[in-house]
Amino acid sequence: MPSESDGPGEEPLAEELRARFKGESFSLGILLQTQGFFSFRDNDFIGGRSWDLGSTRIDFRGTVDRNFTYRVRVYYLSQQQSIDARVGYWFNADTEIVAGAFKPFLSRELDPSPGRTDFVRRARFVGAMMNSLEVGTSLLGKTGPLNYRFGIYNGTGVQGMRGNTDNRFLYTGRVFGSVPVNGHSLIMGLSAALNQSPDARVGNSGLTSKGDRYFYGGYLDYRADTFFVSTEWVQTFFDAVEYGNNRETITGFHATAGFRVGPRHELLARYDYLDFRLIPDARDRFLAGLNYYPSSLITFRLNAIVEPDRRAGTQTGVAAVFQYMF
Amino acid sequence: MPSESDGPGEEPLAEELRARFKGESFSLGILLQTQGFFSFRDNDFIGGRSWDLGSTRIDFRGTVDRNFTYRVRVYYLSQQQSIDARVGYWFNADTEIVAGAFKPFLSRELDPSPGRTDFVRRARFVGAMMNSLEVGTSLLGKTGPLNYRFGIYNGTGVQGMRGNTDNRFLYTGRVFGSVPVNGHSLIMGLSAALNQSPDARVGNSGLTSKGDRYFYGGYLDYRADTFFVSTEWVQTFFDAVEYGNNRETITGFHATAGFRVGPRHELLARYDYLDFRLIPDARDRFLAGLNYYPSSLITFRLNAIVEPDRRAGTQTGVAAVFQYMF
Amino acid sequence: MPSESDGPGEEPLAEELRARFKGESFSLGILLQTQGFFSFRDNDFIGGRSWDLGSTRIDFRGTVDRNFTYRVRVYYLSQQQSIDARVGYWFNADTEIVAGAFKPFLSRELDPSPGRTDFVRRARFVGAMMNSLEVGTSLLGKTGPLNYRFGIYNGTGVQGMRGNTDNRFLYTGRVFGSVPVNGHSLIMGLSAALNQSPDARVGNSGLTSKGDRYFYGGYLDYRADTFFVSTEWVQTFFDAVEYGNNRETITGFHATAGFRVGPRHELLARYDYLDFRLIPDARDRFLAGLNYYPSSLITFRLNAIVEPDRRAGTQTGVAAVFQYMF
């Protein structure tokens, strides 16, 4: 969140870019992230000691005549790429249907753009349980005080897009709303999903779901003037092919707090929990973060990460991202 | 074909987009397709039951000073991509030479943009016999009443572009012209090609051509005010590596009719024939289509597909595409 | 170098494109190359007899408020791609830090854009010794008469970006300056690098460096009104995994001269030397080149290449590129 105290004329180039390239029928977006990782031990904790490109993408989108929308977003990952492309239609001011490849609205932690996450990386449960892109269709809307998202997807991510002939789907649902607390909004939401795709990869966990996979969770989010707190709990269970089709249950959780400490700086703290029933591994991770916004287009994030582990000893590392986002 | 009855001002956003991004020296194009397939039996006929991205692409092109032209068109296919890039020169108003990677002008059914095909997918013979992109050079021109296209390509598609050191080429030729019939044009054309590339893949047929591969065909196309009819017949033969270098002959044909049934709707019917001499398989496929153009930028296509098969029983399915094309 | 005699108004379309798309905060670039190769013998010398796409890329870049810079450049290689993405910051008018994926400033022969090289391909030592893109960070600056570039990179190129957990880096340094000679500048530079990444590929040489790899070299460049001369010598040594961890030393050199022979034409000559201590191969290659610039956006290069070889006999070939660059 770049400083809102910047008056007009303080960023003439950014204003010129927005005037030229951010419109209703056509909007160009560019996100460039460069990252650095440093594990204090000479191992591969949080990526070892290395440089990386983060989420680097270009997108084109707009709303055109008769309430149709389009968006194509190309993610460049060194020699690979991933594509988020969707076409949509607004039935009315409250209800849109979208089809294509996009984020499946499973978890609030997955919602924000990679350029607007609180930390350098999302909470670990996102990667462990979800594909960041799914191919399918989704209904987005609002009824009274409740917002909803219902989707039907192939359930195999964009990786499994070609040759996806299992004829089974991932069904997702989410409802959320907000209540006023001290003049600000407390957002509350619930998610659930059923993935019937057989032999589907479970995020980046390295596990494969034999048959039906169930997912559910909930979150709270409260943002005041100078601080915010947010938390989310999610769980998924399925029969893991790698463990003789035994029932695996993955549980994830984060609790995060952030404080604005000046017009251009934020301090953050997070507890990140991830547990596999069948795989013994470190569950807890603690993060401290500093976000610096030198301009409305540039962000610098610095994270310190600590992972206590009784077996392997406590691991520590530092991660940073330097980002241009338009 | 979006309704021509739309007067100026009926699509203000589309007009704004065209004014900004469609010019002589620079033109931006975006095509987004999202598809759905449903086989009535739980099998993989026409893709089983699944969502997909269709042809999703972004292109930049123009004509610059001294009669040079450029075009780069990037196709995004989930985690892959394909590129159509060409540079050209107009010797005179009738004759252009182009070089790069592009469609090889082999068949009329391959000609239209994937955003302007009659059905969700092209007739099957296109995929079975041709690479949709070839790397090479082509002469495009007109002499008297005849148009021509002559090309020399690597003959291995863009897939075989790297490491293409067979030193043999694909030679293509096509001539076409038109005669007036009842105040409209009847277009007639002939194509022929010889691919000398050894051990080259034959489209997506799964077959490999040992040595020379021959291709030839012809087409007719007649478009009146409220209907059109078109047909094309093509054949290719070669020694198939997978069948002990025996001679394989693939024959393809389609006959298509379309009717405009309102300012924004078309109904279509097609017979699609594809026969392999050595591979026993269903030859006939019947398609019915409804195309709906809610605006000049949005298209919705719905196809019903029937494939009679004495051995496996008749298969039926439905395919749809929802598209933004600028 | 397109003719400078072109006055305003001689290329109205190019001027219109520049006015629209080349600005400080946003600049669009497009490079399209189509190539042809012909080996006089029916073998794979310089690519045999084939067509190819050369370097085809699209880039977006700019300088934004508070001295930050961004650049994303996507290279399309038929079905693959490579990405050059960087974010930078100018500490002052002389000093910039950049981070991301980009050319590692190792050799002057690698410096120019692929649309501005003297010949169809760079001198062979570039490919044999260097990755064209490295992921890391670099300091670019000037102190007194000396320019410098210091960088720390992963050392495994963008190919090895994912899963780069060796925790070792490539360190690079370069200094250069110029002295006036006859009213023109003679540029002189020195480079050195140490790559500590274990088991790293050595360019496209097919060799793997067991441990530390050392690199050093120097160059001279002199450009007068109607001609230029330039030369560069580089060497690298390392323990080659493929040769029982024996010490391999690769030495490269080129000497090049160019003459402007008219407002739109250049003639060039080059001697290209590449020697592997452990691999017996032809060392010498001679090139003659003709560059033709029909407009400021279009380039045509034609090269004749001769490789004397006592064992295999002298090889000859022709290479050409037809290019649009904006």
- Interface partners of chain B (CB pairs < 8 Å, 3 or more) are A, C
- CA dihedral C217→C222→C226→C227, nearest 10 degrees, is -40
pLDDT at residue A319 is higher than 90? yes
Tokens at residue A192, please?
């659930």
Task: Compute CA B312 distance to the chain's CA centroid, rounded to the nearest angstrom.
Answer: 29
Is residue A20 within 8 angstroms of chain C, CB to CB?
yes
Neighbours of C223 (CB within 10 A): 15
Is residue A42 within 8 angstroms of chain C, CB to CB?
yes
Q: Is the dihedral of CA C30, C80, B153, B274 positive or negative?
A: negative
Give the CATH number of domain B12-325; options: 3.30.300.30, 2.40.160.10, 1.20.1250.20, 3.30.230.10: 2.40.160.10
Put simply, the answer to whether C70 touches A32 (Cβ < 8 Å) is yes
pLDDT (average), residues C240-253: 96
Give which of A132, A64, A139 is closest to A99, Cα–Cα.
Answer: A139
pLDDT band at B164 (very low <50, low <70, confident <90, very high): low
Give yes or no for a contact between B132 and B205, defined as CB atoms under 8 angstroms apart: no
pLDDT of residue C235: 98
Residues of B in contact with C77 (CB under 8 A): 162
pLDDT of residue C159: 67
Residues of C in contact with A44 (CB under 8 A): 165, 167
Give yes or no for a contact between B268 and B289, defined as CB atoms under 8 angstroms apart: yes
Neighbours of A316 (CB within 10 A): 16
Put simply, the answer to whether C161 touches A53 (Cβ < 8 Å) is yes
Put simply, the answer to whether B99 touches C36 (Cβ < 8 Å) is yes
pLDDT band at C82 (very low <50, low <70, confident <90, very high): confident
pLDDT (average), residues A29-38: 95
Output the furthest CA–CA distance in chain C (Å, rounded).
Answer: 64
Q: Which of B58, B70, B76, B172 to mutate to test the interface with C (most CBs of C within 10 A)?
A: B70
pLDDT of residue C127: 93
pLDDT band at A9 (very low <50, low <70, confident <90, very high): confident
pLDDT of residue B2: 44
Instruction: Give the C-alpha separation, C54 to B83, whole Å.
Output: 12
Is residue C77 within 8 angstroms of chain B, CB to CB?
yes
pLDDT at residue B274 is higher than 70? yes
pLDDT band at A2 (very low <50, low <70, confident <90, very high): very low
pLDDT at residue A232 is higher than 60? yes
pLDDT of residue C98: 97
Q: What H or E segment, with its residue span, contains residue A128?
A: helix A124-129
Nearest CA in chain A to B296: A65
pLDDT at residue A8 is higher than 80? no
Strands A68-77 and A56-64 come out as antiparallel
| The amino acid at C227 | F
Give yes or no for a contact between A171 and A151, defined as CB atoms under 8 angstroms apart: yes
Tokens 């293409």 correspond to B164
Is residue A315 within 8 angstroms of chain C, CB to CB?
no
Instruction: Give the C-alpha separation, A86 to A139, whole Å.
Output: 13
pLDDT (average), residues B148-156: 95
Give which of C22, C14, C116 is closest to B62, Cα–Cα.
Answer: C14
Give yes or no for a contact between C72 and C88, defined as CB atoms under 8 angstroms apart: no
pLDDT band at A267 (very low <50, low <70, confident <90, very high): very high
pLDDT of residue C2: 43
- CA dihedral C195→C196→C198→C201, nearest 10 degrees, is 0
Put simply, the answer to whether C99 touches A34 (Cβ < 8 Å) is yes
pLDDT of residue C281: 79
Put simply, the answer to whether C52 touches B135 (Cβ < 8 Å) is yes
Q: Is the ipTM here above 0.85?
A: yes
Q: What is the DSSP string of B30-98?
A: EEEEEEEEEESSSS-GGGSSEEEE--EEEEEEEEEGGGEEEEEEEEEETTEEEEEEEEEEEEETTEEEE
Is residue C67 within 8 angstroms of chain A, CB to CB?
no
Strands A50-53 and A95-102 come out as unpaired
Task: Compute CA B10 distance to the chain's CA centroid, rounded to the nearest angstrom.
Answer: 31
pLDDT (average), residues C213-229: 97
Is residue C323 within 8 angstroms of chain B, CB to CB?
yes
Considering only the beta carbons, identify the residue of B72, B154, B169 that sits closest to C30: B72
Q: Which of C66, C86, C162 to mutate to test the interface with A (most CBs of A within 10 A)?
A: C66
Is residue C76 within 8 angstroms of chain B, CB to CB?
yes
Give yes or no for a contact between B34 and B300, defined as CB atoms under 8 angstroms apart: no
Tokens 């000559």 correspond to C269
Residues of A in contact with C81 (CB under 8 A): 76, 79, 81
Assigned CATH topology for domain C92-325: Porin (2.40.160)
Residues of C in contact with A14 (CB under 8 A): 25, 64-65
pLDDT (average), residues C181-196: 96
Q: Which of A77-81, A129-133, B53-57, C55-59 has the weakest average pLDDT?
A: A77-81
Neighbours of C82 (CB within 10 A): 20
Is residue A50 within 8 angstroms of chain C, CB to CB?
yes
Q: Is C19 helix (H, G, I), strand (E, B) or coil?
A: helix
pLDDT band at C97 (very low <50, low <70, confident <90, very high): very high
Q: Which of C318, C324, C325, C326 to mutate to test the interface with B (most CBs of B within 10 A)?
A: C324
Kindly state the DSSP code that residue C22 receives in the 8-state scheme.
B
Put simply, the answer to whether C137 touches A36 (Cβ < 8 Å) is yes
Give percent above pLDDT 90 in chain B: 83
Taking phi first (over 0 means left), then psi (-120 to 50 degrees means alpha), and beta for anything else, what does residue A150 get? beta
pLDDT at residue B165 is higher than 80? no
Tokens at residue C257, please?
């001269």
pLDDT (average), residues A234-238: 98
pLDDT at residue A305 is higher than 90? yes
Put simply, the answer to whether B30 touches A60 (Cβ < 8 Å) is yes
Q: The domain at A13-325 falls in which architecture?
A: Beta Barrel (2.40)
**Chain A closest CA to B323's CA: distance in Å?**
7
Q: Is B234 helix (H, G, I), strand (E, B) or coil?
A: strand
Q: Where are the domains of chain A?
A: 13-325
Instruction: Give the C-alpha separation, B150 to B140, whole Å.
Output: 7
Put simply, the answer to whether A79 touches C82 (Cβ < 8 Å) is yes
Distances (CA, A) of A238 to A156, A193, A248: 15, 12, 6
Residues 6+ apart with CB under 8 A from B279: none
Please state, rounded to an integer, the average pLDDT across all residues of chain A.
92
Give which of A114, A147, A166 is closest to A323, Cα–Cα.
Answer: A114
Nearest CA in chain C to A44: C165
pLDDT of residue C312: 78
Residues of A in contact with B293 (CB under 8 A): none
pLDDT at residue C297 is higher than 60? yes
pLDDT of residue B68: 96
pLDDT band at A80 (very low <50, low <70, confident <90, very high): low
Is residue A47 within 8 angstroms of chain B, CB to CB?
no
Residues of A in contact with C99 (CB under 8 A): 34, 36, 51, 322
Considering only the beta carbons, identify the residue of C10, C17, C36 that sits closest to B26: C17
Nearest CA in chain A to B36: A136
pLDDT at residue C78 is higher than 70? no
